[in-house]
Amino acid sequence: MIQARNLTKYYGAKAAVRDVSFYVDKGEILGFLGPNGAGKTTTMRILTAYMPPSEGVVKVGGFDVFTDSMEVRRQVGYLPESVPLYTDMTVWSYLDFVASLRKVDNRARRVKDVLGKVDLEDQASTLIARLSKGMRQRVGVAQAIVHDPQVLILDEPTIGLDPKQIIEVRELIRALGGEHTVILSTHILSEVEQICNRVLIINKGQIVAEDTPARLTARLEGGERVRLQTVQAPADAVEILQALPETDKVTLIASNTFEIECCEGTDCRPALAQVVVEKGWGLLELRAVDISLEDIFLELTADQIVQQ
Amino acid sequence: MNTLIITKRELTAFFVSSIAYIVGAAFLFITGLFFFFTVSLSGVATLSQVFSVISTVFLFIAPVLTMRLLAEEARLGTLELLLTAPVRDWEVVLGKFLAAFIFFLVMLLPTFYYLFVLTRFGTPDLPVTFSGYLGVILLGAMLLSIGILTSALSANQIIAAVLGVALSLAFWLAGSLGSTFEGPLGDLLGYLAAQEHFVDFLRGLISTANITYFLSITVAALFLATRVVEIKRWH
């Protein structure tokens, strides 16, 4: 659905995005993950045909963003990070305006449908200026989907929302995936874990990793990491556990709680359970720990920080 | 078509904003005052003084009417949404210009009442009056397009308005500056001076050259505004 090849964008002499290539399949939800200023917004602005790339080719639905800009715009729905709306209009008149610019047939019905999708039917005649941040966000999503676009591009769609609104917007995005191809950017790691099928990690204008959230985690895991908690443990417990052939590294993270890295390719949990039972420490908890995207992200970007 | 959709939205925005009513009221107050004094003091049934006043007042009012149009959209970021819809840049600029122009025409409508009063109590020269209206409308279009251009240049409404007044005054007064130079530069400044072209209309003189002057500046300013919008989105 979307293809970017060697995409580069300069602002003056400075490259905001450098030689980035990626693709997005139909119905996929792709997450752009990266710190602020990584080049996420620039990439999205190019995908929406707002600005042309300095170098490289970007195609949306088979159309080039530069030479077929109008066709690309017809296929794309876009919500910028700041959720810019005309605050002097009512929700209904604003969506009707966008729908008429987007040449939507049977406008009144479509606007009504979309208001239903974002759960704003009862706010149709409210001035946008009077809406809460969360409601504005939903109006923003509504204007992006009013023409039923193939591709939906959402820049930081949950920023500035309260926890309840974040959950609502995430659910809305998940519901839109499948029907639409969705690209969303975020700097919140748990967000991509929850919503996206695939993640692109961007830092300083370049892609540093690309995979499914689960596989990225697996890829960076050496041996499995295990957390162990017991009722009691002697002072030399760390040494005892370390001595086991299955364990690689043992750290005491709280009293009677250990984090243990198993040797690569082995699961050390049976051995740990046996030791704890034999020594009579009283087993409370023994579970595998997932590496969070936070860890992955720090690991991937650490090299670059060191290079500087 | 896109142009008209944008015009409609902007016109609605004009009529819900207080600035439009303030500007409209000030405009009518000043022109009405001058109408009363010039006609009652001179006793001549003519609108030419009123047209002069309209032209002067509009030098300052036009940039205020247009300052919001592109500057505010750039500041709020709504321009980004507008320009990612399948709409061409010139359609956005033209749509906004038309909205301001229609608002200006609506503002002029009550001045027909002055004409009505004149015909009741005297015999105004109708062809000259018509010529005067044409001049005012052409000048209005030009000043509004200059305002659109300065609104495209700055994301700050106040700066856009001040720039607009400065540029409008420069065009208006280029003639006095032109007369101080000799040779081609003086001629050029003389030609660019809006005032020289405008006074012909007040005398009842409708010439193609004068009409061409106002239309060219209007089109040029709108074209430049479109280029500014385009350049700004690329950076």
Residue B24: half-sphere exposure toward Cβ, Cα within 13 Å: 18
Tokens 């290539």 label which residue?
A21
Alpha-carbon distance of A187 to A193, in angstroms, equals 12
Taking contacts as CB-CB distances below 8 angstroms, the residues of chain A near B233 are: 50-51
Residue by residue, pLDDT tens for chain A (308 residues) are: 899 999 999 988 888 999 999 999 998 999 998 877 888 999 999 999 999 999 999 999 999 999 999 999 999 999 999 899 999 999 999 999 999 999 999 999 999 999 998 889 999 999 999 999 889 999 999 999 999 999 999 999 888 788 888 888 888 888 888 788 999 998 777 788 788 989 898 888 888 888 887 777 666 655 677 888 999 888 888 888 888 888 888 888 888 898 888 887 777 888 888 888 988 888 999 888 766 666 666 766 665 555 44
Among A50, A52, A71, beta carbon nearest to B84: A50
Taking contacts as CB-CB distances below 8 angstroms, the residues of chain B near A70 are: 86, 88
Asked if B9 has any chain A CB less than 8 Å from its own CB, the reply is yes
If one counts every other C-beta atom within 10 angstroms of the C-beta of residue A93, the result is: 18
Q: Give the residue from A131, A134, A127, A141 showing the smallest Cα distance to A94.
A: A127
Alpha-carbon distance of B85 to A97, in angstroms, equals 11
* Contact status, residue B151 vs residue B168, Cβ threshold 8 Å: no
Asked if B42 has any chain A CB less than 8 Å from its own CB, the reply is no
Determine the distance in angstroms separating the CA of B28 from the nearest CA of chain A, rounded to an integer.
26
Query: What single string gives the DSSP state of each residue in chain A?
Result: -EEEEEEEEEETTEEEEEEEEEEE-TT-EEEEE--TTSSHHHHHHHHTTSS--SEEEEEETTEETTTTHHHHHHHEEEE-TT----TTSBHHHHHHHHHHHTT-SSHHHHHHHHHHHTT-GGGTTSBGGGS-HHHHHHHHHHHHHTT--SEEEEESTTTT--HHHHHHHHHHHHHHBTTBEEEEEES-HHHHHHH-SEEEEEETTEEEEEE-HHHHHHHH-SS-EEEEEES---TTHHHHHHTSTTEEEEEEEETTEEEEEEPTT---HHHHHHHHHHHT--EEEEEEEPPPHHHHHHHHHHHHHHH-
Alpha-carbon distance of A4 to A24, in angstroms, equals 9
Taking contacts as CB-CB distances below 8 angstroms, the residues of chain B near A76 are: 84
With CB atoms and an 8 Å threshold, state whether A80 touches B80. yes
Alpha-carbon distance of A283 to B83, in angstroms, equals 62
Taking contacts as CB-CB distances below 8 angstroms, the residues of chain B near A103 are: 86
Note the ipTM here: 0.89
Nearest CA in chain A to B14: A88
- What pLDDT, in 10s, does the model give residues B140-182? 999 999 999 999 999 999 999 999 999 999 998 887 777 777 7
* Contact status, residue B74 vs residue B232, Cβ threshold 8 Å: yes
